Amino acid sequence: MRIEGGTPLQGCVRISGAKNAVLPILMATLLAAGEHRICNVPRLRDVETSMRLLQELGARVEREGDVLVVDTTSATGEEAPYELVKTMRASFLVLGPLLARFGYARVSLPGGCAIGARPVDLHLKGLRAMGADIKIEHGYVVARSKRLRGAHLYMDLVTVTGTENLMMAAVTAEGTTVIENAAREPEVVNLAEALNRMGARVQGAGSSTITIEGVSALRPSVQEVIPDRIECGTFMAAAAITGGDVRIEGCIPQHLQAVITKLRESGVWIETGDTWIRVRGEGRLRGVDVITMPYPGFPTDMQAQMMACMTLAHGHSVITETVFENRFMHVAELQRMGADLTIDGHSVLVRGVERLSGAPVMATDLRASASLILAGLAAQGETVLSRIYHIDRGYERIEEKLARLGAKIWRER
Q: Rank residues 9 and 115 by Cβ distance to ligand UD1 and give the closer one.
A: 115
Give the single-character DSSP code of 354: S
Among 36, 45, 106, 123, binds ligand UD1 (CB under 6 A): 123
> Any contact of residue 23 with ligand UD1 (CB under 6 A)?
yes
> Any contact of residue 120 with ligand UD1 (CB under 6 A)?
yes
**CB distance 406 to 9 below 8 Å:** yes
Scanning 62-70, 115-123, 266-274, 378-386 for contacts with ligand UD1 by CB under 6 A, the matching segment is: 115-123
Scanning 152-160, 332-340, 374-382, 401-409 for contacts with ligand UD1 by CB under 6 A, the matching segment is: 152-160
Scanning 94-102, 158-166, 268-276, 334-342 for contacts with ligand UD1 by CB under 6 A, the matching segment is: 158-166
Query: Closest approach of Cβ 365 to ligand UD1, in Å?
Result: 10
Among 276, 324, 328, 395, binds ligand UD1 (CB under 6 A): 324
357-378 as b/e, with b when 16 or more CB fall inside 10 Å?
A: ebbebbbbbbbbbbbbbbbbbb
Query: Closest approach of Cβ 199 to ligand UD1, in Å?
Result: 24
Select from 182, 1, 179, 28 the least CA-distant residue to 101. 28
285-312 as b/e, with b when 16 or more CB fall inside 10 Å?
A: bebbebebebbebbbbbbbbbbbbbbbb
Catalytic annotation present for 251: no
Exposure of 161 in the CB half-sphere (CA atoms within 13 A): 22
Q: Rank residues 136 and 157 by Cβ distance to ligand UD1 and give the closer one.
A: 157
Q: How many CB atoms lie within 10 A of CB 20?
A: 24
79-88 as b/e, with b when 16 or more CB fall inside 10 Å?
A: bbebebbbbb
CA–CA gap between residue 100 and residue 33 (Å, rounded) = 12
CA–CA gap between residue 349 and residue 186 (Å, rounded) = 30
CA–CA gap between residue 381 and residue 393 (Å, rounded) = 27
Name which of residues 164 to 203 contact ligand UD1 (CB under 6 A).
187
Strand 104-108 versus strand 140-144 pairing type: antiparallel
**CB distance 234 to 246 below 8 Å:** no
Query: Closest approach of Cβ 73 to ligand UD1, in Å?
Result: 26
Scanning 114-122, 131-139, 243-251, 403-411 for contacts with ligand UD1 by CB under 6 A, the matching segment is: 114-122
Strand 222-224 versus strand 104-108 pairing type: unpaired
Catalytic residue among 113, 232, 251, 309: 113
Among 8, 77, 162, 338, binds ligand UD1 (CB under 6 A): 162
Contact characters 276-315, ligand UD1, x per CB under 6 A = ------------------------xx--------------
Q: Rank residues 86 and 286 by Cβ distance to ligand UD1 and give the closer one.
A: 86
> Any contact of residue 161 with ligand UD1 (CB under 6 A)?
yes
Encoded amino acid at 67, one letter: V
Scanning 27-35, 153-161, 336-344, 368-376 for contacts with ligand UD1 by CB under 6 A, the matching segment is: 153-161
Binding residues for ligand UD1, rule: CB under 6 A, are 20, 23, 89-90, 116, 118-123, 157, 159-162, 187, 300-301, 323-324
